[in-house]
C-alpha cells in the first residue's frame, strides 16, 4: 500500500472509501446521532422495566452511529468540514488548505 492510499483510507479521502463517516447533510447526521444515542441510552435505561429485551435497542443504536459514538463524532467533523477543507499533497508532503468558495 502506498503512502497516499494509506492516508486516503485513514482520513476518508472521498465518498465510499474506508474511513468515511460523513453524512450528506448536517441535519441528517444530527438525526442519526439522536436515534443512535437515544437507542444506546434507552437500552440501558429500560433494563429495569423490560429486562434483557431492552438490549435489542443496542444494535439499532450502533448501526445509527455507524459503529460507535466516536465514529459518529468523526462523521460530524467530516460533515462540517466537507467542502471547506481539502488535502493538498505536493512533493510527498500533505497539508490541509481551505477553499475560498466552500465548494468542492
Residues 6-22 pLDDT 10s: 333 333 444 455 567 88
- Per the structure block, which three cell numbers stand in for 69? 459514538
Measured N-to-C along each axis, helices 26-45 and 69-81 cross at an angle, to the nearest 10 degrees, of 170
Strands 85-90 and 93-98: antiparallel
Q: What is the reported pTM?
A: 0.62
pLDDT reported for residue 68:
86
CB 20 within 8 A of CB 2: no
pLDDT reported for residue 63:
92
C-alpha–C-alpha distance, residues 90 and 93, integer Å: 5
pLDDT reported for residue 38:
96
Neighbours of 83 (CB within 10 A): 12
pLDDT in tens, the chain (104 residues): 333 433 333 334 444 555 678 888 889 999 999 999 999 999 999 999 999 999 999 999 999 998 889 989 999 988 888 767 777 888 888 887 777 654 44
Amino acid at each position: 500500500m502506498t503512502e497516499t492510499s494509506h492516508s486516503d483510507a485513514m482520513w476518508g479521502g472521498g465518498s465510499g472509501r474506508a474511513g468515511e463517516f460523513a453524512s450528506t447533510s448536517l441535519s441528517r447526521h444530527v438525526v442519526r446521532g439522536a436515534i443512535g444515542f437515544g437507542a444506546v441510552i434507552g437500552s440501558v435505561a429500560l433494563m429495569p422495566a423490560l429486562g434483557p429485551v431492552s438490549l435489542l435497542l443496542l444494535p439499532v443504536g450502533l448501526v445509527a452511529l455507524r459503529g460507535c459514538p466516536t465514529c459518529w463524532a468523526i462523521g460530524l467533523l467530516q460533515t462540517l468540514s466537507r467542502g471547506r477543507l481539502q488535502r493538498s499533497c505536493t512533493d510527498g508532503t500533505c497539508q490541509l488548505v481551505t477553499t475560498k468558495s466552500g465548494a468542492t
